[in-house]
Amino acid sequence: MTRLAAIVLVGLWPAAAAAQPVSSPSGAPAPTPPAAAAPAASPATPPAPTVPAQGPSEAQIAPHIWNVDQVRCSDLLHASDEDREAAAMFYYGYLAARRGIHIINTGRISDNIAKVIKQCTATPASTVPQAFRRALGRSRGRG
């Protein structure tokens, strides 16, 4: 598992841990619902530009434990496309919640993430939360 995938999994762990199987009135486990179809189009994170190699991240406190407020843009830019997309979506929701944003315009996610990646490319030593603030502003408006 890559470093950024671990960030996302650690961030989502409390929600996953809360999910419990539901029993039917007879006590037998309820049938598992069919898997939801994949969305027709998901917001795509643009591929990261080439960035010089880096050493271990300062944000990683211990194996599989990260301080999400200290992850650098360089960490995000070095991730695989899949991990970068997952981490960007994690941060989109995490930072929206921290700012009290409860309504998100999903039609703007792709463009907003592209702005953040562009900001990260320009300032790879910035933290990911700093890049979000610089790229998208500080307003409490709709994301």
Q: Pick the more confident residue, 32 or 130.
A: 130
- pLDDT, tens only, 74-83: 999 999 999 9
pLDDT, average across residues 38-61 = 59
- 41 class by beta-carbon count within 10 Å (0-12 exposed, 13-18 middle, 19+ buried): exposed
Q: Please answer whether residues 4 and 87 qualify as being in contact, where contact means their C-beta atoms are separated by less than 8 angstroms.
A: yes
Three-point CA angle 50, 53, 58, nearest 5°: 120
Spatial CB neighbours of 83, under 8 Å, sequence gap ≥ 6: 2, 3, 4, 5, 8
When computed from its CA atoms, the radius of gyration of the chain, rounded to whole angstroms, is 17
| pLDDT band, residue 41 (cuts 50/70/90) | very low
Rounded to whole angstroms, the Cα distance separating 65 from 6 reads 8
Which range, of 28-37, 87-96, 104-113, 127-136, averages the lowest pLDDT? Answer: 28-37
| pLDDT band, residue 63 (cuts 50/70/90) | confident
- pLDDT value of position 26: 52
Domains of the chain and CATH, by start: 1-10+54-143 (1.10.890)
